Amino acid sequence: MTSLSQRIQQVPASPTIAITAKAKQMQNDGIDVVSFGAGEPDFDTPQFIKDAAVEALQNGDTKYTPKSAAALKKAIADKLAKDNGINIEPSQVLVTFGGKHALYAAFQAILDPGDKVLLPAPYWVSYTEQIKLAGGVPVILETTPQDNFKITPQQILDAAGDAKAIVINSPSNPSGVMYTPEELAALAEAVLKTDLLVLSDEIYEKLIYGDNKFVSFAALDPKLPERTLTFNGLAKTYSMTGWRLGWVAGPQDVISAIARLMSHETTNPVSFAQAGALAAYTDPQAAGVVETMRQEFEKRGKHMAARLRELPNVTCVQPMGAFYCFPDISAHFGRTLGGVEVTDSMSFAKAALDAAKVAIVPGVAFGEDRCIRLSFATSMEQIDKGIDRIAELLK
Ligand code: PMP
Ligand code: GLU
């Protein structure tokens, strides 16, 4: 047996990726599985974005690009000024292999061994592992379904101590909850009383429902841009998960440090993929296609949450953004469902997959064992079929 590093031995594979892959494999094997696993839009990438990438490829855009292409960095800086009220230079933007890579590289650039990072639960699965891979220590800020999974300013003040940073993800994967501008401003006020750096993961910025309003963390106070890293990407907004394009914007010293890391690690994101991203951020068609997808997600999310609430002893917070429902199913712990003794979210997910042929992600993967996550980035028909099956399982 090869002796692997201690660093990698403490990191399990991503459960969201694993469950999605397992559901796909079962489908390929001819099993009729409904997959609520993937946090991945089911739409194709808009045609004008594909065309721009194809054209770049045809025109010989096939070489290393200097870190990320200058025109794309400028387009992202312009987007941040226009949409988010964040005014920075293009040199303060770095394009990476997906939002996931931007976060990974940022933790590598800012953390020393033992550095603490405050992480509100429930949290996206990769934050904890990325923090650990950088030698850091995640410090979990607990929340409850009754409080809509929101942390309070006091929790930040109580936990800050000598911690290095805090991660804010609003709208949230997995809870689908987002802070109001006022709530976020109160968190910002608390942060400003500490020395915390803020990693604001805004990847679900354009998927907002109802009257909810998005604000960027860095825009909440003039003192925040110098200590906030803003993360975003093309995967969710433009249905470009496979293109692997994300970015980070923030203080020049941190961005330059991440760029140094990237110069040894990945050099630059794919040249012609960056041309597609440039079209996404500059073509006037973009707003319309994004809005069409958003409206569809909104319909599905409303429908899925309503159907989940009709299930016996299940509560579900209304998704405000992103594309996840995160119902509390803990009232069913202690029951035997489909032949599986259900004692926690993991065994519930096992019963759902084995007996009902529905793939969901157990909440324990996100640090919240009372809940399960269902992605509604799938058709209405699949949503009804899957929830019918879960209803049958719970009978
Ligand atoms: N942050 C959050 C909260 C996410 O849900 C995802 C989805 N995988 C990402 C970052 C990264 O997305 P990607 O790497 O596909 O850009
Ligand atoms: N973010 C999505 C999810 O949580 C995609 C998978 C991943 O990267 O974790 O399902």
| DSSP line for 225-237 | GGGEEEEEESTTT
In this structure, which ligand is nearest to the CA of 366?
Answer: 2
Report the residue among 20, 96, 124 best suited for mutation to probe ligand 1: largest number of ligand atoms under 8 A from its CB: 124
* Ligand 2 midpoint to CA 126 (Å): 8
3-state secondary structure of 104: helix
Q: Do the strands 228-233 and 197-201 form a parallel or antiparallel pair, or are they unpaired?
A: parallel
Q: Are 238 and 50 in contact (CB under 8 A)?
A: no
Regions of the chain where pLDDT drops below 70: 67-68
The class that CATH gives domain 6-44+288-394 is alpha beta
The 10s digit of each residue's pLDDT in 236-294 is 999 999 999 999 999 999 999 999 999 999 999 999 999 999 999 999 999 999 999 99
Ligand 1 site residues, Cβ closer than 6 angstroms: 39, 98-100, 124, 169, 173, 201, 203, 233, 235, 241, 246
Quickly count: other Cβ atoms within 10 Å of residue 162's Cβ: 9
Q: Are 329 and 314 in contact (CB under 8 A)?
A: yes
At residue 195, what are phi and psi to the nearest 5 degrees? -105, 15
Residue recorded with tokens 């157990």: 362
How many residues would you count in the chain? 395
Predicted pLDDT of residue 185: 98
Q: Where are the domains of the chain?
A: 6-44+288-394, 47-285
Q: What share of the chain is helix, strand, coil (3-state, %, to 5)?
A: 45, 15, 40
Quickly count: other Cβ atoms within 10 Å of residue 394's Cβ: 21
Predicted pLDDT of residue 21: 87
Q: Which atom of ligand 1 is nearest to the CA of 103?
A: 10
The class that CATH gives domain 47-285 is alpha beta
19 lines ligand 2 (CB under 6 A): no
Separation CA 224–CA 210 (nearest Å):
28
* Ligand 2 midpoint to CA 189 (Å): 30
